[in-house]
Amino acid sequence: MCLSKVQSSNYDKNNNYSKKSKYKNNKNKTDSSDSTNKSNSTASASAAASASSSAQSNCSNQMNPSNIMNLLKILLDLFKLLGMLNYLNQNEDPSDQNNSQPVAANEYGYLTGDPHLRGGDGEMYNVHGTAGNIYSVLKDKNLDYNAKYSSINNMGNNGVVESAINVSGKNSKDVISFNKDGVATLSTTANGKTTQQAIEKGKTYQLADGGTVKYGQAYGGGADGSQLEERLIVTTGEGYIISQVARPEGYIDSNVETPKAGVYADKTMPSGILGDTFDKDDKARVATDNNGTGVLNNDLSTYTRLSLLT
């Protein structure tokens, strides 16, 4: 392209102006970018400082003595709870830990003569007692088996001449009475009213606790119990089998079998001059006198009752 001098001069000026203008624009952009970067850097630094300050504040709060004490209290309560659970585990009833091993299940005991007793673990002992007194033979939940002592010969020996087995249900109570002459009666109390009837031989009667009573032929006679004889048999709702017979000598003998599920299935351990021996171990106790000392859990006087109907 051919230019005149004037045109050439103007072109150079314009070209130089354009270059200067571009330079200034670029310079302005650079300055603006630097300013923005500086601003962003300042903001980032400010944010970082704020975050650091916040973190320090949180850390300071977490290390606050009050928070530390609260944490220690929580830990202490936790240790106490663990200790209590450990104590309960160590003191748990053996029958609760292993339901396949019930307490004193299918054990057998008896009371005979003046009176001699055989306990659930095979111990042999005497409870001669005092004539006229009433003693608890077997007591358990919803069950009270009591016996009255009296002199049975010229030697002053005592024996059981009357008995009462009291069983309770939800809304009623039954009393099975028996005497040395073999007379058996059933008294039922329900809704504040009491009725009484003779127990007929060969008949079965339902009881308030879900059990039964029957008077009739049953094994139990003879030295080995293999002979049939007239017996009053009470089967309680829990599963005890109490069998009584009136002897010609003028006293009552009785046998007791414990429930198949054990005596602690109802969470109540039995007591009484015979009931004490149906315990959690299989060790026969040893008597030190003729009133059950060494076998009974307490002194004989604590087993006395004011009435057969208690």
86-121: per-residue pLDDT in tens?
A: 544 444 454 444 455 899 999 999 999 999 999 999
pLDDT in tens, 33-86: 444 444 444 444 444 445 445 445 454 555 577 777 777 778 777 766 665 555
| Enclosing domain of residue 117 | 104-305
Domain boundary among 57, 90, 123: 90
**75 and 222 inside one domain:** no
**155 and 24 inside one domain:** no
Give the number of domains in the chain. Answer: 2
**180 and 212 inside one domain:** yes
Residue 114 corresponds to which tokens in the numbers above? 């003046």
pTM for the structure as a whole: 0.69
d(CA 54, CA 59): 9
Tell me, yes or no, whether 98 lies in a domain: no
d(CA 239, CA 260): 7
Sort 207 into a burial class: Cβ within 10 Å, 0-12 / 13-18 / 19+.
buried
**147 and 65 inside one domain:** no
Domain boundary among 35, 59, 90: 90
pLDDT in tens, 261-289: 999 999 999 999 999 999 999 999 999 99
**141 and 186 inside one domain:** yes
Question: What percent helix, strand, coil does the chain show, rounded to 5?
Answer: 30, 30, 35
